[in-house]
C-alpha cells in the first residue's frame, strides 16, 4: 500500500482533479479570496495560478510530499507570493488571527479529522475573515446516501482516505462557522461521488 500511496496515488489524484468541468468551481471560489490566504490540503497546487487581484500572499498546507512537489511546479506560474508547507491541516504551523481567507477545495473529504482542521482554520482567521469552500460529500437522496455509506470504507482505501459521505455543511457549522452562502451542484462522475457543496462562511 505504501508504494501505491507514494507513487501511484499522487499522479492519479492530480490527473483526476485536472478535469475541465471542475475549473469553473475553482475559479469562482478563488476569485473571492482576498488578503493573506491559507489553502488547506493544497494537493498538487491546481488553484495556485488562479490567485490574482486582491490576494497579497498564499500559504499552502499539504501532508503529502509527492503532491507538494507538484504544487511547487504550479507555484512557478503564480502571480502572487506562495509559501508551501509540509504540514497537517489539523495542526497548522500558523499564528492565530493571521490570515484573511481560508480556502478548501476537495480537501475536507480526505483530512482524517475534518473537524479539527476546520477549528484550526477558525483559529488562524482574523476577525472578519472568511472560509471559502467547494467540496463533495453526502448526497441528499436517501438511496444514494445509503450507497455512499456502503462503499465508503473500500473507497477510502483506494482513494487515499477520501470519504464519500461527509455532511460538509454540518462539519463547517459544528466547527464554529456560520454559513453565509451555499449552493449545490453535480460534477462529472457517479452520483455517489459527485454531489458538491460550494459556498462561504465566517467564524462565529
| Number of residues that make up the chain | 204
Q: Write out the H or E segment, with its range, that includes residue 66.
A: helix 65-75
CATH number at residue 177: 3.40.50.150
- In sequence order, what are the residues at sequence separation of 6 or more whose Cβ sits closer than 8 angstroms to the Cβ of residue 162? 109, 110, 155, 156
Domain limits at 30? Answer: 2-203
CA-CA distance, 153 to 72, in Å (whole number)?
32
The pTM for the full model equals 0.96
Q: How many domains does the chain have?
A: 1
List pLDDT tens digits, range 97-154: 999 999 999 999 999 999 999 999 999 999 999 999 999 999 999 999 999 999 999 9
Amino acid at each position: 500500500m505504501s508504494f501505491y500511496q507514494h507513487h501511484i496515488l499522487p499522479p492519479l489524484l492530480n490527473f483526476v482533479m485536472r478535469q475541465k468541468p471542475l475549473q469553473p468551481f475553482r475559479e469562482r471560489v478563488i476569485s473571492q479570496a482576498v488578503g493573506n490566504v491559507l489553502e488547506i490540503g493544497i494537493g498538487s497546487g491546481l488553484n495556485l495560478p488562479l490567485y490574482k487581484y486582491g490576494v497579497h500572499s498564499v500559504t499552502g498546507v499539504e501532508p503529502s510530499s509527492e503532491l507538494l512537489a507538484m504544487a511547487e511546479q504550479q507555484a512557478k506560474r503564480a502571480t502572487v507570493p506562495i509559501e508551501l508547507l509540509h504540514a497537517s491541516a489539523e495542526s497548522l504551523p500558523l499564528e492565530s488571527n493571521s490570515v484573511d481567507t481560508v480556502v478548501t477545495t476537495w480537501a475536507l473529504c480526505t483530512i482524517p479529522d475534518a473537524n479539527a482542521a476546520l477549528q484550526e482554520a477558525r483559529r488562524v482567521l482574523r476577525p472578519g475573515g472568511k472560509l471559502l469552500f467547494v467540496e463533495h460529500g453526502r448526497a441528499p437522496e436517501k438511496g444514494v446516501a445509503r450507497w455512499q455509506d456502503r462503499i465508503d470504507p473500500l473507497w477510502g482505501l483506494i482513494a487515499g482516505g477520501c470519504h464519500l459521505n461527509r455532511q460538509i455543511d454540518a462539519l463547517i457549522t459544528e466547527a464554529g462557522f456560520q454559513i453565509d452562502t451555499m449552493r449545490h451542484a453535480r460534477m462529472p462522475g457517479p452520483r455517489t461521488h459527485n454531489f458538491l457543496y460550494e459556498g462561504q462562511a465566517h467564524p462565529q
